[in-house]
Structure 1
Amino acid sequence: MARMHTRRRGSSDSDKPVADEPPEWSDVDEDAIEERVVELAEQGHSPSEIGLKLRDEGVQGTPIPDVSLATGKKVTEILEENDATAELPEDLRNLMKKAVRLREHMDENPGDHQNKRALQNNQSKIRRLVDYYRGDEIDADFTYSYERAKQLIE
């Protein structure tokens, strides 16, 4: 797949190994995993951070290599069932954080034309994602602005 804002092709990535069931050394109860996922979400971790923490720290000292194999549900599905979802989707939140950082950089360095272009590209991605999520995961009247993004991020 091609890149969004350049004429180059994308880079290939490695694929996850194919597995149908969790490894036998990771035999943690599904309920314990779900409790830990909700606990980490209440501490303010995003779904990807939750997956990393479960992989590295695990539940009761046992690592969980893949939450969806162990429970049959994705991390976001577990969070939705327990009403622990964030107000913004993770990808939109990350793009807004980046836009706020770029905007603050542009205020300090007004002659930085390369980062001005990067900010424009980033805001374009944000507007496209807002259109995608509008009505389902965010309000129907939500519009992106720097002030609103700064308020939502903090």
Structure 2
Amino acid sequence: MARMHTRRRGSSGSDKPAADEPPEWSDVDADAVEERVVELAEEGYDPSQIGMKLRDEGVQGTPVPDVKLATDKKVTEILEENDASPELPEDFRNLLEKAIRLREHVEENGQDHQNRRALQNTESKIRRLADYYRGDELDEDFTYSYAVAVELLEE
């Protein structure tokens, strides 16, 4: 797959190994995993961070290599069921934070044309992602601006 804002091809990455069931050494109860996911979300962790914490620390000392294999649900599905899901999707929130940081940098350093272009590209990605999430995760009349981004992240 090609990169969005360059003329280069994307780099190939490793694929997850195909597995139908969790490994034998990770025999953690699905309910315990779900409880730990909700607990970590209440502590303020994002879904991707929750997956890494479960992989590294585990539940009751036993690592959980894949939440979906252990519970038959994704981390975001578990959070939605328990009303612990974040207001904004994680990828959208990360792009908003990046755009705010870039905007503040460009205002202080007006001569930095490379980061000015990075800001334009990031805002373009935000608009594309807003089209994807509009109606479900975002309001129907959502339009991106710097002020709206700052307001959304302050909540």
Q: TM-score, normalised by structure 1?
A: 0.97
Q: Is residue 18 of structure 1 aligned with residue 32 of structure 2?
A: no
Indicate the residue corresponding to 2:140 in structure 1.
140
Q: Are residues 1:125 and 2:125 paired? A: yes
Identity %: 79
Quote the residue 2:91 is aligned against: 91
Scaled by the length of structure 2, what TM-score is found?
A: 0.97
1:152: Cα distance to partner? 2.1
What is the one-letter code of the residue matched to 1:101?
Answer: R
Deviations 1:118-138 (A, max 9, x none): 100000000010011000111
Letter in 1 for 2:111: G
Query: How many Å separate the matches in 2 of 1:143 and 1:83?
Result: 26
Whole-angstrom CA distance in 1 between matches of 2:14 and 2:34: 28
The 2-side partners of 1:149 and 1:53 are apart by 28
How much does 1:107 deviate?
1.2
Corresponding position of 1:46: 46
Secondary structure of the residue aligned to 1:61 is: coil
* 2:41 partner SS: helix
The amino acid across from 1:49 in the alignment is: Q
Q: Show the counterpart of 1:7.
A: 7
SS at match of 2:6: coil
Deviations, residues 84-135 of structure 1 (Å, cap 9, x unaligned): 1111111100101110110111111011001000100000000010011000
For structure 2, the residue ranges without an aligned partner over 5 or more in a row are: none
Aligned to 1:101: 101
Matching residue of 1:75: 75
> Whole-Å Cα distance in 1 between the matches of residues 111 and 128 of structure 2?
27
Write the letter of the residue equivalent to 2:6. Answer: T
- Which residue number corresponds to residue 149 of structure 2? 149
How many matched pairs? Answer: 154
Tell me the distance in 1 between the aligned counterparts of 2:125 and 2:18: 31
Which residue type is aligned with residue 18 of structure 1? A
Paired residue secondary structure (2:124): helix
